[in-house]
């Protein structure tokens, strides 16, 4: 019996599998090359007073992806987020080492215009915080700040477009003069997203945006983020691991001020490199 | 475990707090109603159209003549003028204290101490200070000069009284306005900052509109204080029942009116009441009733504004 003739399949299979694996590796390598880094964090260290709350944090946020920050309460997720739009600058005792680049530019360069940076890097907070004014004015306010000479018609167009993008237009188009405070929590949060979109940012950061919302509003926001990621780079802080799993491309796991693990969301959840990550993902930490 | 019934003393202690709070509130309300009721009872018969539209008769012998037209006008002038002076300064100071000052700075501590001291100074001291200060020659633009050819000012006029009044009410008004500004949620400021809105614009477009009802409350409080003060008026408005200018309603007399002396409801009460310098209690009660109505109206306005605010939220 000629074994080799009778059973050629195993080797062929192996070869095919090898080829397929090679192909996958190639694609990943290509993706890594293409990986279009937008925010580059290099050796970030943050203190509040003498309290070191972030140390040794190095990673990169790719453009047009959703990057999720996860980790137990107090590990520094919000602090990291606030470094990207320099909202920490307002906090007494804040000091920072390391470098953060946005599109190749050091955002802590003294020549950087902080208001312009914050236009580019929008932020949505845990609790919806629309201003106590009309829906229209909520969006128009910041648009005028960055474009004082905008005409009325143009402004109305920007407001409408932002509301459409935030999936809120249909619900509010009949009465844009209504107080934003009369909207539901989920609508308010989408208004806050619209407000951020209206000034044409490149990055949208959301700090636990669904923490005070019901499951339906949460699902709507998740859908919205998946739509927006085509045009924007999104960073989201979340305590909801299922949410991170559902929508994020990359995941950063923080623990006690350190970035313990960073990478492809699927890989981090299914095959974490660190025991701590595995424990957290299994639900061992608060 | 069995749920045990509340013991006697526990039941008592549960009631003692609410009960004493209720009693205290009732005492305050009773005192307030008693005073207002007394004034209305005594003054009501005397307040009629004639009383409101005739000028005071300063002759001491004539105890039943004269009304409060000039004092009403004087109170109005004084309140408006002092509000005009107080409002921008108080608002600016409140914004600065609430939004820009660092509590650790020596300047902040000095300003806070200054405001506290100012709030504790009795108004009669301000009155004395006002006359002394504004009698100085450089202030002749504020009051008609004392005598022909003299280089000192008279030191008593609507302008002087309003200025001194403004200084007197300033610390209270600043306090109320600062509280109003501070009570605007931080999340509005953060939301604005995160959109790249500058701090000043956020204050102007978001914080101040949100604090507007509280700011209005401060203005009205200042008006009430100015309308009710006696010592400053008595010393710095000239100790008279009428105005220096007879045809005060004429527009071309405005400068003379402002630089001249006058009277207000509080000085009218002081000069007619036997408790003060007069012998016409019924006139004093009539004036008091008008003044109280005025102050109640101002308070009602504040309440209405507060209600309007809650509805827009
Ligand atoms: N304004 C501040 N001043 C001083 N310390 C702060 C301040 N904000 C946060 N910290 C400290 O920095 C650390 C990180 O806080 P941060 O808010 O970034 O955590 P987090 O991961 O966002 O937590 P959570 O999930 O609860 O929001 C904490 O130890 C916290 O006490
Ligand atoms: Mg946080």
| Domain B51-311 classification at class level | mainly alpha
- Can you spell out the DSSP letters for B23-78? HHHHHHHHHHHHHHHHHHHHHGGG-SHHHHHS-----SS--S---SHHHHHHHHHH
- How far, in Å, CA of B143 to CA of B156, rounded? 6
A242: exposed, middle or buried (Cβ count in 10 Å: 0-12, 13-18, 19+): exposed
A182, A193 contact by CB (below 8 A): no
pLDDT tens digit sequence for B180-226: 999 999 999 999 999 999 999 999 999 999 999 899 989 998 999 99
Q: Is the ipTM of this complex over 0.85?
A: no
The confidence score (pLDDT) of residue B172 equals 95
Res. A286 pLDDT band, cuts 50 70 90:
very low
Pairing type for strands A203-207 and A250-255 reads: unpaired
- How far, in Å, CA of B22 to CA of B24, rounded? 6
The confidence score (pLDDT) of residue B155 equals 81
Tracing tokens 């989201």 back to the chain, one arrives at A236
pLDDT tens digit sequence for A220-240: 899 999 999 999 999 999 999
How open is the CA angle A62-A68-A72, to the nearest 5 degrees? 140
The confidence score (pLDDT) of residue B148 equals 59
- Provide the phi-psi class of B167: left if phi over 0, else alpha when psi is between -120 and 50, else beta: alpha
The confidence score (pLDDT) of residue B312 equals 54
A163: exposed, middle or buried (Cβ count in 10 Å: 0-12, 13-18, 19+): buried
* Residue B159 Cα to ligand 1 middle (Å): 55
Pairing type for strands A233-237 and A66-70 reads: parallel
Q: Which ligand is nearest to the CA of A47?
A: 1
The confidence score (pLDDT) of residue A34 equals 67
The confidence score (pLDDT) of residue B149 equals 62
Average pLDDT over residues A77-95: 94
Residues with beta carbon inside 6 Å of ligand 1?
A 48, 53, 71, 73-79, 91
What is the average pLDDT value for chain B, to the nearest integer?
Answer: 86
Domain locations in chain B as residue ranges: 1-46, 51-311
Question: How many other β-carbons are positioned within 10 Å of the β-carbon of residue A35?
Answer: 13
B196 → closest Cβ in A90, A119, A179:
A119
How many Å lie between the alpha carbon of A212 and the closest alpha carbon of chain B? 15
Q: H or E stretch including A258?
A: strand A258-264
Which residues on A lie below 8 Å from B185 (Cβ)? 129
How many helices (H) and strands (E) in chain B?
Answer: 13, 0
The confidence score (pLDDT) of residue B136 equals 81
- Can you spell out the DSSP letters for A182-198? GS-HHHHHHHHHHHHHH
The confidence score (pLDDT) of residue B310 equals 59
- How far, in Å, CA of B151 to CA of B55, rounded? 33
Global confidence as pTM? 0.83
A188, A130 contact by CB (below 8 A): yes
Name which of A54, A102, A108, A60 is nearest A80 in CA terms: A54
Name which of A98, A105, A79 is nearest A202 in CA terms: A105
How many Å lie between the alpha carbon of B90 and the closest alpha carbon of chain A? 24
Average pLDDT over residues A89-109: 92
| A207: helix, strand or coil | strand
The confidence score (pLDDT) of residue B14 equals 81
Ligand 1, atom nearest to A72 Cα: 25
Res. A164 pLDDT band, cuts 50 70 90:
very high
The residues on A that touch B, with CB distances below 8 Å, are 85, 87, 90, 114-119, 122-123, 125, 127, 129-133, 141-142, 145-146, 179, 181, 192, 195-196, 199
Pair of tokens at residue B94: 């409140």
pLDDT tens digit sequence for A18-69: 887 787 667 656 655 667 889 999 999 999 999 999 999 999 999 999 999 9
Which residues on A lie below 8 Å from B195 (Cβ)? 118-119, 122, 141-142, 145, 195-196, 199
In the predicted model, is pLDDT for residue A3 greater than 50? no
- How far, in Å, CA of A92 to CA of A50, rounded? 12
Q: Which residues of chain B have pLDDT under 70?
A: 1-2, 8, 59-65, 145-150, 306, 309-313
A85, A207 contact by CB (below 8 A): no
The confidence score (pLDDT) of residue A64 equals 93
B215: exposed, middle or buried (Cβ count in 10 Å: 0-12, 13-18, 19+): buried
- How far, in Å, CA of B283 to CA of B287, rounded? 6
Which residues on A lie below 8 Å from B309 (Cβ)? none
Average pLDDT over residues A244-250: 93
At the second CATH level, the architecture of A36-281 is 3-Layer(aba) Sandwich (3.40)
């Amino acid at each position: 019996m000629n074994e080799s003739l009778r059973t050629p399949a195993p080797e062929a299979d192996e070869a095919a599998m090898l080829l397929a694996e090679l192909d996958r590796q190639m694609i990943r390598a290509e993706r890594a090359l293409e990986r279009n880094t937008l925010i580059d964090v290099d050796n970030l260290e943050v203190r509040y007073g003498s309290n070191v709350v972030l140390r040794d944090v190095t990673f990169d946020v790719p453009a047009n992806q959703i990057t999720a920050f996860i980790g137990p309460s107090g590990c520094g997720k919000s602090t990291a987020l606030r470094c990207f739009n320099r909202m920490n600058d307002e906090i007494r005792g804040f000091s920072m080492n390391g470098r953060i680049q946005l599109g190749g530019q050091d955002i802590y360069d003294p020549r950087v215009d902080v208001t312009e940076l914050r236009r580019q890097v929008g932020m949505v907070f845990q609790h919806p915080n629309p201003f106590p004014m009309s829906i229209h004015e909520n969006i128009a306010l910041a648009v005028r700040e960055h474009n004082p000479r905008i005409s009325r018609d143009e402004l109305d167009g920007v407001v409408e477009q932002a509301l459409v993008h935030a999936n809120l237009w249909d619900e509010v188009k009949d009465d844009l003069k209504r107080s934003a405070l009369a909207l539901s929590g989920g609508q308010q949060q989408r208004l806050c997203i619209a407000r951020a979109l209206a000034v044409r940012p490149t990055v949208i950061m959301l700090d636990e945006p669904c923490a005070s919302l019901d499951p339906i509003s949460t699902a709507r926001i998740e859908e919205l983020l998946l739509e927006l990621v085509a045009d924007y780079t999104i960073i989201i802080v979340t305590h909801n691991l299922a949410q991170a799993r559902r929508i994020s491309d990359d995941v950063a796991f923080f623990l006690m001020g350190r970035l313990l693990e960073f990478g492809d969301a699927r890989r981090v959840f299914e095959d974490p490199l660190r025991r701590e990550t595995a424990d957290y993902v299994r639900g061992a930490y608060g | 475990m069995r749920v045990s019934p509340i013991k006697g003393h526990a039941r008592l202690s549960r009631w003692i707090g609410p009960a004493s709070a209720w009693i205290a509130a009732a005492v305050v309300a009773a005192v307030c109603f008693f005073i207002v009721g007394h004034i209305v009872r005594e003054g009501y018969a005397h307040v009629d159209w004639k009383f409101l539209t005739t000028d005071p008769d300063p002759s001491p012998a004539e105890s039943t003549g004269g009304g409060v037209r000039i004092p009403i006008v004087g109170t109005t002038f004084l309140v408006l003028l002092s509000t005009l002076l107080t409002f921008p300064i108080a608002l600016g100071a409140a914004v600065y204290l609430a939004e820009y000052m660092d509590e650790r700075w020596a300047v902040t501590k000095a300003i806070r101490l200054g405001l506290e001291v100012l709030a504790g100074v009795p108004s009669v001291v301000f009155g004395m200070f006002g006359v002394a200060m504004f009698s100085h020659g450089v202030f002749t633009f504020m009051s008609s000069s004392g005598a022909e050819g003299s280089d000192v000012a008279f030191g008593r006029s609507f302008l002087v009284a309003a200025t001194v009044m403004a200084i007197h009410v300033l610390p209270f008004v600043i306090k109320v306005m600062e509280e109003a500004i501070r009570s605007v949620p931080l999340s509005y400021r953060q939301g604005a900052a995160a959109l790249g809105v500058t701090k000043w614009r956020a204050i102007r477009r978001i914080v101040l509109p949100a604090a507007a009802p509280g700011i209005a409350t401060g203005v009205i409080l200042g008006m009430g204080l100015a309308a009710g003060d006696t010592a400053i008026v008595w010393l710095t408005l000239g100790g008279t029942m009428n105005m220096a200018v007879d045809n005060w309603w004429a527009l071309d007399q405005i400068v003379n009116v402002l630089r001249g002396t006058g009277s207000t409801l509080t000085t009218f009460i002081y000069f007619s009441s036997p408790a003060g310098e007069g012998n016409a209690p019924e006139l004093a009660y009539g004036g008091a009733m008008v003044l109280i109505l005025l102050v109640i109206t101002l308070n009602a306005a504040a309440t209405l504004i507060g209600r309007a605010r809650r509805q827009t939220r």
